[in-house]
Structure 1
Amino acid sequence: MARTTKMSMKELSDTDDLATCLVLDPLLGFKTHKMEISPLPKIPLESCDQLKEKLVKFQRTLDFNTTFEELGKLAGECFHSMGRHQQELLRQHISRYLKAFLLDSGVKIESCDRYTSEINGAKITSTRQWLQGQRVAVLVGCIARLTPDDEALLKEGVNDFSIIFSSRKHCPQLWLGPAAFINHDCSPNSKYVAGEGNVAYVEVIRQISPGEEFTCCYGASYFGEENETCECCTCESNGEGHFRKRDPPKPPTAQRKYRVSKMERAPLMKDAKRAAIVLELSALRQSSPEIPMVSSLDRTAPEELEKILEDYKKFRLGPRVGKKDLDNAHQASSHAHRFCLFMAAGLPMAITPAEKGVCANHDQEYDQ
C-alpha cells in the first residue's frame, strides 16, 4: 500500500461514506453512520448481495487488489467518475476496513443497539485476548482538521457524531475509519495514540478478553456536564450518568431578593470581588443618570449575547497565530466579561466614561 495520504474534511467524509457503503454496510446488513457532505453514492440494489460475496471471498483469498477492482465495478458510476487521486484515497481507506474484517484480525465490528441517541449503531469487540500496552494495528482512524467553512457543513445530531478536539493542535477535527466505531466508556480499556500524518491507532490500556468490547474515553464532559447523560456500561454499573437517580425538581422559590437581568443568561458571580464591581457599576449609574454615553449598542441584549458568543468561539477558543489573533482573543474576553457585569447589574447596554473605566480596570485580570 502507498503511504497514507492526508485528506481534507470533505475528502475524508466522502471517502468514508463510500468505503462504508461498499464494505461495512453489506457485511453488517444495515446503513451505518454517514457524513453526507456530498450526496451518497447510488449503488444498484442488485449489487448488495454481490458485494457481500466479494467481501467474504476476500477473507479467504486475501487478494486485496482483485477485491478492490471488483468492488469498484459493483459501485458503478460513482467509482468510475473518480479521478486518480480520489481512487487512491478510497483504496487506502477500503484497505483499513477490510483489514478489520480479516479472520485473524482479533477484532469484530458488529451491530449495537445500546444507546438511545443512535440508530443502526455499531461496536467493536475482541475475538482474542489483548494485553496491556499492545497496539491494535487493524483499528486505525483518519483525522482531518476542520476549518470554519467545514464546521458550517456540520448539522447537530446528523453528522457531528465523530468530532474530536485536539488539545495538542487546539482545534476541532473529524475522526473517521474503523476505530471511529469504538464506543465510549468512563472506565475504558483502550486509548487513541497519534500516528504519522493524519492517522491514529488504538492501544490497549487494560487486558481485553475475547467477546469484550473495545472502549475509549471520549472526555469527561462529552455527554453533558460531567457526562451526566452518559449511557456507558460503567455508568450503568455505578448508577452514574444517564442512570443516576435524580431528585424531583424543586418547586419555584419565592421572589428573588437580588437583581438579575430578565435574560437570566449571565452567570451569577460567586466571588466577592466581581460582586463588588457590579455594585460599583450600579451605584455609578444611579448617582449620575444623565451622564452622556461614550458608546451604545444598536443591538438588543439577546442579539449582543449571540454576537459575543460567536466572537468568543472564533477568537478565544479558535487557533491564534500572531499578535492580531492574541489581541482579538483578549477583546473577545473583555466583551464577554463586560456583558456579564452589565447583565448582573441590570444595566442597559450603553456605557458612560466612568463605567467604562471600572470595566477596563478589571479586564486584564479577568483575561489571565
Structure 2
Amino acid sequence: MSLWCLPPVPADICHGPVPAPNPEFTLKPKKKKSIQQSCETPGSPCSPCQEIVLRQCLGQHIGTEQMMVCSNRTPFSCSNLCGNLLQCRNHYCQKSCHAIIDRSLILDGYAISNVTPESCEECTLPCQKERSPACPHPCPLPCHVKNCPPCKVLIKRSCHCGTMVHVFECALYNSMFEEEQQQARSCGGPCHRKLPNCTHLCPETCHPGKCPSPEKCSKKVTVRCVCLHLKKQWLCHDVQAACCNSKHDMREISRSQFGIGLLPCTSECDIACKKKTTNPEVHQRKITMMEDKAKPALLPKGRKRREHKQEIKRSSKLEKQVFQVITLTAQKWLLIATMVVLLLVFAYFGYHGLFWLSDWMNEVEARRLKNRYPRI
C-alpha cells in the first residue's frame, strides 16, 4: 500500500502514518476507547504528517535550526547576518539571512521553488590588504581579489651627511635590504659633518651613523701660548690629547680658542709684552679696537632684510598716521569755514530781506488806504 500526503512528496521523505501502539507493551484501559486509524480506507489520502523535525533557515546557517512539523514547509530566515563571502573574497555579506542565488534551497530533500533567491551586496570598500613589500601608502584600487600592484609613490630620503636628497620609488626602495638602502642613500662625497672633539670636518665619504675614529684626526692645527706670541703646528689628535690632559671640555672650546694656551710662555714673551707696552702705537691700536667694538656688528643678510622690511612697515605706518591727522584737521577747518560762510550769507540776505519786507508792507498799506479813501 503506497502512502501520500499533502502537499505531495515522495514516499521516502514523509514519515508516514503513525503506527498503532502494540497492545503487548501498553496498559489496558478500563474503558474501551475507539482506536483512531491513520487511514480510514486503503487508497484514501492521509492526514498531514505531524512529526516534529529540524529545519534550516534560508541562509543555511549552522545552529539556527528550528523544530517544525513535518508537513509545514514554510521557509524562514534567522536573526543572523548572511555571512556569505562576497566576490572580492575579502569581506562578507552584511544583509540579513536570505536565500543565495548560487545555492539551490533544499529542505529535507525537497526543493523550494516559491522563494526567490537574493543576491549578496556589492563590496564598495577600498582595498585594505597589506602591500608586499610593506608600504605606508594605501592601494589606489577598490577592494579586489588579486595582489596589490607595486607602489609607485615617490619618496624622498636624504643622504647620511644631509647635503643631498634622493628620490626613490616606494616599492623599489622597500624591496631593498638594509645594507642596499644605506648604499643607495650615500651621495658618494665627503661627509661634511663636524667632528665632535675638534673643529674639523669628517674626511670620510658619506656614511651612516657616527663618524669613525674622531680622536685620530690628522689635520694640522696652529697652537699658541697664552699671550699669542709663540706658535707651532701640531696634529689635531695631539691637540685633543693635550686638552684632555689639561681637563678642558672639548665641547666648550670655541673654534677661535682651539689650540690657544697649550704652549708655555717663555722669556721672549715677556720681552715682547714690554715692547708692546712701551710702544706708543699700542695705545692707538687699543683706541681703534675700542672704536671697532663700538661700531655695530655685521649682521647676516637674512636679518638685514627682515630689519629693512620692519623699518619699511614702521615708516608706512607713520605716514598713514600723519596722513590721517592731516585729513582730520583739514576736515575740521573746512567745516568751520563752511559754517562761517553760511552765517555771513544768512546775515546779508536777512538784513536786505528786512528792508524789502518793510517796503512791501508800506506799499500794501498805501494801497489799502487808497482803496479805502479814494477822494484823498
Name which structure has the greater RCO, CA cutoff 8 Å, separation 6+: 1
Greater Rg by CA: 2
- Answer 1 or 2: which has greater strand percent: 1
Task: With the length of structure 1 as denominator, give the TM-score of the two structures.
Answer: 0.17
Task: With the length of structure 2 as denominator, give the TM-score of the two structures.
Answer: 0.17
- Answer 1 or 2: which has greater helix percent: 1
